[in-house]
Amino acid sequence: MDTNLKSGSSIILENANHCIAMQLRDDNFKWGLFGGWSEHNETPQETILREIDEELGVILDPDHLNFLRIFSFPGIGIANVFHYPVQNELDNAVLTEGITFEFLTLDEISKKSVPTNHREILTWYRSQ
């Protein structure tokens, strides 16, 4: 694995209806998973917990955060992918980055414009 690649974390926030929280980004107008790049000496778990707090104003319970796997995307970086079973944590979320967010089914997501790396993560997740 190329150690010069940037490292970040992404998360599959999935509700009881098997819908996944997706963010419509304002920089590329594509639907993506929540997450972001790691800061200096930050663990992948710390990264995703910080990103969700920054992007949605929500503190996730680290005990419910499940690490799934690492993806490496040439020219982009490394994504540590997590899953979180959402109950009511996002009910009062306030989006601070992007245009909007919605819970979407995997079929709905397949019809949206999604960055290639996020589509790869979701395709893998669907196959599990």
Task: Let me know if residue 40 belongs to a domain.
Answer: yes
Task: Let me know if residue 45 belongs to a domain.
Answer: yes
- Each residue of 20-56: pLDDT tens digit? 999 999 999 999 999 999 998 999 999 999 999 999 9
Task: Tell me, yes or no, if the pTM score tops 0.85.
Answer: yes
Task: Let me know if residue 33 belongs to a domain.
Answer: yes
Task: Let me know if residue 102 belongs to a domain.
Answer: yes
Task: Let me know if residue 28 belongs to a domain.
Answer: yes
* Total domains present in the chain: 1
What residues make up the domain containing 101?
7-127
- Each residue of 63-107: pLDDT tens digit? 999 999 999 999 889 999 999 999 999 999 999 999 999 999 999
Per-residue HEC secondary structure of 55-92 comes to HHCCCCCHHHCEEEEEEEECCCEEEEEEEEECCCCCCC
Task: Let me know if residue 54 belongs to a domain.
Answer: yes
Task: Let me know if residue 2 belongs to a domain.
Answer: no
CATH number at residue 100: 3.90.79.10
Helix, coil or strand: residue 21 = strand
Rg for the chain, CA atoms, rounded: 14
Task: Let me know if residue 24 belongs to a domain.
Answer: yes
